[in-house]
Chain A
Amino acid sequence: MNTYFKQLLADLVTLCHANPSVLATWLDKDSEKIRACLIWLIIGSSLYGASIGLWRAPLQSFYVAIKFPLLIILTTLGNAIINGMLAQLLGAKISFRQSFLAVMMSFTLITIILGSLTPLTFFLLYNLPPMGSELARQAHSLVLVVNVVLIAFAGIIGNLHLFSLLSHICDNALKAKQILFTWLGVNMFLGCQLSWNLRPFFGTPRLEVRFLRDDPFNGSFYEAIFQIAKNLLF
């Protein structure tokens, strides 16, 4: 057991070092490394998820700690086939499992970064005006902005590391860039929709705390964006 935890910690360090030649060898030991990535992904994203919902209510924090890992895992699983196909078509000599693991490693790194920032976000939340106070609206906006910045930062780092891994695998920066942007596009496309289905995450102050909205499969992220744009323009 002790050895297992030591190995798990060693995997975390390797993932953070993000040495492409080392990570490329991970792709051959896929099932073992998929498990390690999954564990760290759940830990990192649950911790960060808890911090997202905490300002709204402790119950919301608990719900998001479950939903945030679920969102990432569902996005990765939902796109596993198409990501593998696109990588192969764009010239990467990797199997479906390997492309799945590469995407998973990138998401794991992102969630580890976010998880490591959780104490700081807790500290920020401690200093914010609580729900029900006069400045609650401003506090809610600040929570949103800070989290968007953190997710963007972690996302950039994770994708830069994925790019260096892909460049190492493909031996060609152009191919790696093509694959990275294709994966990004496909993952964002599904990820946005799933985050819509699994809402609320931050928890709107005027709505009650719920695990899912009453009608989670009613409507889509893109329809909502269209409606907002329409209201703004016309």
Chain B
Amino acid sequence: MTNEINASESNASLEKEENIQQTETTVNVDKETQEMETKQLPESTNMMQVVDALLKTPESIVNQIKAGQFKQTVFILLLIFILCHAVYGLIVGSFSGNAQWFAAPLKILGGAILSALLCYPSFYIFACLSGANATPSQILALLVGGLALTSILLLGFAPVAFIFTFSIKTLGFMGLIHLLIWSISIYFGLRYIMTGLLHLEGHKDNGFIKVWSIILILTLLQMTTTLRPILGESDTFLTQEKRFFIEHWIKELDNKKTNSDQNNTLPYRR
């Protein structure tokens, strides 16, 4: 009898604890959601405020997009995207020098814009497929935000890339370093886009957007091959020969392997 009473008492206390925990979790979640919803950028913002918001409180930009008052912010995001890509392009171009000082920034910026334009329609459709109730302009604003964040990170890595540019001799290694830097940057850019979509009304899951992310990454990688040479030297601004980027990489590595086997060294840039 005493055991039964003890057991029922312990069950009751367990249930009570569970209830308290559940209430606490609900309160915390509500608090977080409330905090996220209240964070919003002022209507007139400057570039530094937008950069700060992208890094620290991306939800404030998303809330602005959700509220439909994002014209000025998108304009600033676009400006950030162009400036940061151009600066990073200069660092890429400094590897080979000469005409690449101008060609690399132009190609990097142009390639990113072209890829974004190519992927924008599918982004809108995929966002709709995942349940988001958003206008095309809101989706465009999200895309521009993600790409702006990517470019800010590229700029953050610029001192690192700069040091490597003056030390690395081989094209392949320099390409790998830029690819690594770009991968980290695009990861955060895509993370912003996915988090942003989750805040939009009606969005259920990120499955379609994950597929779209792969499409965007493939497009951007292919663009680097289409607009080649970006890193190396060439007599012409663009190459006429059509190639898939993986084929291009394999071919380049094969060329280098043959060269290095002949010289018993790595191929040099100069």
Q: What residues of chain A have their CB less than 8 Å away from a CB belonging to chain B?
A: 77-79, 81-82, 84-86, 88-89, 93, 186, 189-190, 193-194, 196-197, 217-220, 222-223, 226-227
Contact = CB atoms under 8 A, between A and B. Distances in A.
- What's the dominant secondary structure at chain B's contact region? helix
B168 A220 contact: yes
Given A93-B56, A223-B168, A227-B266, A85 B163 contact: no
A189 B173 contact: no
A189 B164 CA distance: 10
B42 interface: no
A178 to B, nearest CB: 12
Contacts of B166: 217
A78 B152 CA distance: 16
Given A81-B159, A226-B266, 15 more contacts: A77-B159, A79-B160, A81-B158, A88-B55, A89-B188, A186-B160, A197-B167, A217-B167, A219-B168, A219-B169, A220-B167, A220-B173, A222-B173, A222-B177, A223-B169
A193 B164 contact: yes
Contacts of B163: 78, 190, 193-194, 197
B94 interface: no
A88 B56 contact: yes
A233 to B, nearest CB: 14
Contacts, number: 61
Given A88-B55, A93-B56, A220 B157 contact: no
A189 B177 CA distance: 10
Question: Most A CB atoms within 10 A — which of B153, B167, B173, B188?
Answer: B167
Interface string B4-32: 00000000000000000000000000000
- Which 4 A-B residue pairings sit nearest by Cβ, starting from the closest? A82-B156, A88-B55, A81-B156, A85-B156
B170 interface: yes
Nearest to B58: A89
6 contacts: A77-B159, A86-B156, A190-B163, A217-B167, A220-B168, A226-B173
B167 A82 contact: no
